[in-house]
């Protein structure tokens, strides 16, 4: 889809349809194939293409309460996943970090490009010295996930503050 048309379309559709249009554009199989080819490292696509893996993981997060096992089973029953569940899990575990980072970076940039210019603004002055840090949840299991009034995240001090 033409990137210039998306802001016009998104401004005229209800929220649910807008999200659907943006997701379909962002997760376009051609885009995913391009990302995979550029950042795949030693990975290969034999039975499970990268675009299918992204679709399955998205389905498990959106509709199966995070259960990849259930999603893989349903995909096997529907004939979408020809490999075993073990093969799908192994494929997921072997995905190189640069591929994951490129996937999120390029899809995020695609979504940012759809925002109108006036929506892009600088953060408040008090936050401009802070740096955004993206962390992998599997790596930082000890970090508190809830930032309530008594949590460790509320009590921590930022070096730049």
For range 22-38, the mean pLDDT: 88
* Number of C-beta neighbours around residue 40 at 10 A: 16
What's the CA angle centered on 67, arms 63 and 68, to 5 degrees?
100
Give the pLDDT band (50/70/90) at residue 160. Answer: very low
pLDDT at 138: 59
Give the pLDDT band (50/70/90) at residue 156. Answer: very low
- Segment 55-95, tens digit of pLDDT: 888 888 888 677 888 999 999 999 999 989 999 888 888 88
**CA 68/CA 60 separation, integer angstroms:** 5
Which letter does DSSP use for residue 47 in this model? S
Radius of gyration of the CA atoms of the chain, in A? 19
Cβ(86)–Cβ(72) under 8 Å?
Answer: no
Report the candidate in 160, 93, 86, 99 with the shortest Cα–Cα distance to residue 130: 160
Cβ(108)–Cβ(70) under 8 Å?
Answer: no
Give the pLDDT band (50/70/90) at residue 161. Answer: very low
> What Å distances lie between residue 124 and 68, 96, 121, 127, 147, CA to CA?
39, 36, 9, 6, 21
């Amino acid at each position: 889809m033409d990137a210039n048309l998306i802001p016009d379309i998104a401004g005229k559709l209800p929220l649910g349809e807008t999200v659907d249009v943006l997701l379909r554009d962002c997760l376009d199989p051609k885009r995913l194939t391009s990302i995979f080819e550029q950042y795949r490292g030693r990975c290969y696509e034999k039975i499970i293409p990268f675009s299918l893996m992204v679709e399955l993981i998205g389905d498990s997060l959106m509709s199966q309460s995070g259960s990849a096992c259930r999603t893989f089973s349903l995909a096997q029953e529907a004939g979408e996943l020809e490999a075993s569940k073990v093969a799908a899990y192994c494929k997921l575990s072997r995905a190189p970090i640069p591929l994951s980072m490129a996937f999120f970076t390029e899809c995020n940039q695609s979504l940012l490009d759809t925002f109108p210019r006036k929506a892009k603004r600088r953060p408040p002055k008090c936050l401009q010295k802070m740096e955004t840090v993206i962390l992998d949840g599997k790596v930082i299991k000890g970090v508190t996930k809830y930032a309530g009034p008594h949590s460790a995240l509320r009590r921590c001090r930022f070096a730049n503050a």
